[in-house]
Structure 1
Amino acid sequence: MHDRHSRRFGLPTATALVMGNIIGGGIFLLPALVAPYGTVSLVAFVVLTAGALALALVFGKLAQRDPRTGGPYVYARAAFGDFAGFLAAWSYWITTWVSNAALAVAAVGYLDVLVPVHGATWRTVLAALVILWLPALANLAGTRYVGAVQLVSTVLKFAPLLLVAIGGLVFFDPANLGPFQAGDQSLTGSVSAAAAILLFSYLGVESAAMSAGEVRDPRRNVGRATVLGTLGAALVYLLGTLAVFGTVAHADLVDSTAPFSDSVNAMFGGDWGGVVIACAALVSMTGALNGWTLMSAQAPYAAARDGLFPAAFLRRRRGVPTTGVLVGTVLASLLTVAAYTLGTGGAFETLVLVTTFTATVPYLLATAAQLYFLLSGQRDRVRPARLTRDAALALTAFGFSLWLVAGAGYAAVYQGVLFLFAGVLVYVWLAARRTRAGSPAGAGPASAAPRAEPPGQAPPGQVPADQVPAGVSAGGGRP
């Protein structure tokens, strides 16, 4: 039952969740980061957008098959069993709380433009913790407030970005663009190099699928929200970058540390652009933290339903898994404090880099699950004429996900694999507990009492009967 604090997300809120999670604070530096490659980086944006849309469409189709909270975890477990599902949930969980710590640290840098907080470690740490815990409190207040914060922050963050994009059309000067292809690399090499920087700009396309159980009419709205949110984010990225390219001289943009501020100052004069962009960045990061805090709770909640995470993560209040929110925020807080007080900046940056790998593991498993469902004949009412199209779409999304892994770099992949498989100990511990209790794998914790699930959802560990593909057991996993 949903009380007044627990309201299921409609299409606008679900779309805002996707857009807000995709667009964090990175957009405010992207134009300067890709400027050294020339305007060919806009081509890289178009290529990446096509891959991200393929991934978004695959998530929409998977949500039609199984519209439960958990997204990639649910799909990987249904196709390949408990261990694959656990790896998807574990890797996604790592990504969320480490990324939240990184967002908080980055947000403090923008806050310092408005209210000086640097100079004393305790002020910096306190500011970062406040930035972390305010979105957590919104989550603990219930899904109604999560959705409200997400909608408001999404609207507010787009106001200055649209100002730059529209102003860029008026003040656009082709002379500022610089060369189409800068440097000595080939055209393919330039596109690939720019894409390596831009690849992770689209992380977050799975946000609606992760919270499918909280979305109204998920079979219909998850896919729509995912595609609309991805298209909206792509439009903001492309128009914003093009506007900055056309208003800031290429030579200045290459060395810029605040490209959107420079663009506003170039268009309207004065030095007030820095304040405007700092406010926009803070709003953007707060919205991203609000959404990613919810994601940090959804992955372990979905796995705990099936006994693959500790049962404590099953606790929910007002539609939000409270234990997941608290544990994720505490871990992010500890990592943030360590980064500031113990001088572990290098280790902190390494962990953040690792998350660029761990975030793609669920993507690979989810797209592989879609290929498995299609090729094994479990197409779930997909007409034969659509099989080739859906398989091609899934292959494109799988290739895009593999490209994300390659873009993370050798060091991140190596360290990320170690980080990922450290979770095997957790899986072994929980599997051993289930065996001792005489509970079969995937049956969920023996002590977990059945709970009413939202419409369209099944009891813990069971796929609704009307969603079970031919040849697949209702408990999930391979037949």
Structure 2
Amino acid sequence: MSRDWLRRRLGVFDIYSLVHADSQSTFYFVLGVIAAEAGRQTFLVVLYGTALMVAIALAYGEMGSRFPETGGSYLYVKTALGSTAGFFSAWLLAFDQAVMVAYGSLDGVLYIANMLSYYGISVPYIAARAFSFLVALGLFVLALIGIKESARASALVAVLDIVLIGFLTVALGLVLELRTYPPYFSWGDVDAKDIWAGLSYASRGYTGMDAIGQLAGEAEMPLVQVPRATILAAGLGAAYGIGLTALLMNGVAYSAVVSNPATAVVEIAAASSYGRWLVLPVGIVTAVVQIMAALAGFVAFSRLLYRLAEERLLPQAFSKVHRKFRTPHVSLILSAAIALALLAPGEIYLIVDVYAVSSLVNYLMVSLALLIETRRGELYGAMRSPTIRGISIVGAAGAVMTAIGLALSAIVRFGELWIIGLWALAGALLLALRRKK
């Protein structure tokens, strides 16, 4: 099988698998955190987060089928709102890709540690922290020497994830083991610690849908593959989110979730009647999904900054490649530095509080771009959402819900937003210097 064939080939499931590695890894990471805060209201909170995810996925699918070329959200926002807005949409999204490296590395290690604990092997948290550093550095080396996203590898991981987690813990569990009923299941007496924090985390519970836009320009038949991959990602994402939440609230004690919020999926597997056989494969596959998402973070970060440098909005250093490895080493070094800085404190909640706020800004801009382009009558892609008097329902829903998510994040977890503000300020300075030149 030639490299040229593999480079040209990007089918429906290949696009979905790359989106899956990003979006599902985020939800696996955040589900327990949402539940720890929202208590018995968790199911209703996740329904809100799922509706937001579907709206954003459809918005990216519609815009991707209209602009089947490389550029993603930068191209959409630039067309509707101008180059400055397009720059910040991509610059802020790039920051979340670097954060993804940190959380994927740490949470992947935590899943392994939690899985081992069911077999009597205790891994101290300080050892897990140290190993997460090694994972992040190892992924950096892989990205630097030329390891790129492989459609076949991502598809394999997606298949394993669907089979083990989708079938065994969701489909089989819901049919045979669901003994309580929504919306509270077995948590009827568990009060919410902070419902607003739960809603804030749920707003950021799914990310990665932006990969639909990034991959639209690489698909062989984007007008066919992008809409189908969008429906697949939105449909399975909703099924995973709702199903796993139901299983968590049905069979896992709330105290166990609070003690291990970052590894809720293993807790679900352990609580089932098949826990003896499920914990090991579920823990391994979930950890691999998280680590692959971290590797994808390196690739996506460098790709976004490369595009901005090619557009002459960033210094040309970000578009230069290593003489030997032919990879954008400056961007990769920067993303590794950000990830290691976030891993250094060893606080899982620091990463959770910082993650995906920038993506919400990006999603808000894309939703507004969809509203504007639909109103102008300039969207003629293969996927079109319903409209009311020229107003896209998908665009309006995405804009409203992402604005709510941003407001909640600013109010509830404002203490860490200075980190994102610092990144935005650095982007503004680089943009000003570049335009001055």
Displacement after TM superposition at 1:364 (Å)? 1.6
Structure 2 counterpart of 1:56: 57
Distance 1:306 1:275, change over 3 A: same
Letter in 1 for 2:155: L
**2:359 maps to which residue?**
359
Q: What's the offset of the Cα at 1:279?
A: 0.9
CA deviations over 1:120-162 (Å, ceiling 9, x no partner): 986553344225544x369x3455xx21121111122233313
Q: How does 1:46-195 map to 2 (within 5 A)?
A: 46-112=47-113, 119=127, 125-134=133-142, 136=143, 140-142=146-148, 146-161=150-165, 162-165=167-170, 166-174=172-180, 177-180=185-188, 182-183=190-191, 190=195, 194-195=198-199
Relative to structure 1, the CA distance from residue 237 to residue 132 in structure 2 (aligned partners, 3 Å threshold; closer, same or farther) is farther
Contact 2:32/2:260 (<8 A) preserved: no
1:371 aligns with 371
Question: What letter is aligned with 1:358?
Answer: S
For residue 18 of structure 2, what is the amino acid of its counterpart?
Answer: L
Which structure carries more helix by proportion? 2
C-alpha RMSD of the superposition:
3.7
For 2:86 and 2:14, locate their aligned partners in 1 and report how far apart those are by CA, in whole Å.
27
SS in 2 for 1:69: coil
Deviation readout 1:155-189 (Å, 9 max, x if unpaired):
2223331312213431222289334574379xxx9
Residue type at the aligned position of 2:337: L
> Using the alignment, how far apart are the partners of 1:243 and 1:194 within structure 2?
18
- Kindly indicate whether the alpha-carbon contact (under 8 Å) linking 1:157 and 1:281 is maintained by their aligned counterparts in 2: yes
Q: State the 1:309 CA deviation.
A: 2.6
- Sequence identity, in percent? 22
Q: Find the residue that maps to 1:204 and give its secondary structure.
A: coil
Q: Distance in 1 between matches of 2:389 and 2:299?
A: 35
**What CA distance in whole angstroms lies between the structure 2 residues aligned with 1:385 and 1:153?**
34
In structure 1, stretches of 5+ residues that fail to align are: 434-479
Amino acid at match of 1:171: E
Q: Structure 2 matches for 1:437-476, cutoff 5 A?
A: none
TM score, norm. by length of structure 1:
0.75
Please state how far the C-alpha of 1:194 moved relative to its aligned partner. Answer: 3.5
- Does 1:227 find its partner at 2:226? no
Q: What per-residue deviation string (whole Å, max 9, x for no partner) do you get for residues 292-323 of structure 1? A: 33322332233233212333444689xx9931
8 A Cα contact 2:160 2:285, kept in partner: yes
CA distance in 2, matches of 1:75, 1:40: 36
**Residues 250, 383 of structure 1: alpha-carbon distance in 2 compared, 3 angstrom cutoff:** closer
Take 1:67 and 1:122, find their aligned partners in 2: how far apart are those partners? 42
Contact 2:248 2:268 in 1 (8 A): yes
CA distance in structure 2 between the aligned counterparts of 1:88 and 1:331, rounded to whole angstroms: 18
Query: Distance between the aligned counterparts of 1:29 and 1:121, measured in 2?
Result: 18
Q: Which of 322, 329, 334 is the equivalent residue of 1:331? A: 334
Q: Secondary structure at the match of 1:301?
A: helix
Whether the 8 Å CA contact 1:33–1:254 is kept in 2: the answer is no
Three-state SS of the structure 2 residue aligned to 1:211 is helix
Structure 2 distance, partners of 1:79, 1:95, is: 23
Match of 1:295 in 2: 300
Unaligned runs of 5+ in 2: none
Equivalent-residue separation in structure 2 for 1:383 and 1:217 (angstroms) = 17
1:238 paired with 2:253, answer: no
What TM-score, normalized by structure 2, do the two folds share? 0.81
Aligned counterparts of 1:335 and 1:349: Cα–Cα separation in 2: 16
After superposition, the Cα gap between the structure-2 partners of 1:418 and 1:392, relative to the gap in structure 1 and judged at 3 Å, is: same
Once the two structures are superposed, residues 199-247 of structure 1 have per-residue CA deviations (whole angstroms, 9 ceiling, x without a partner) of: 2111111111022221222233223322321221221121122122222
Question: Aligned residue for 1:469?
Answer: none
From 201, 221, 224, give the equivalent of 1:217. Answer: 221
Contact 1:37 / 1:182 at 8 angstroms: preserved in 2?
A: no
Q: What's the CA shift for 1:278?
A: 2.7
In the alignment, the residues of structure 2 paired with residue 131 and residue 305 of structure 1 have an alpha-carbon distance, to the nearest angstrom, of 25
What letter is aligned with 2:179?
D
Q: How many residues align?
A: 418
1:39-50 matches, within 5 Å, as 39-50=40-51
Q: Which residue of 2 aligns with 1:425?
A: 429
Q: Could you report, residue by residue, the CA deviation over 1:435-479 in whole angstroms, capped at 9, with x for unpaired residues? A: xxxxxxxxxxxxxxxxxxxxxxxxxxxxxxxxxxxxxxxxxxxxx
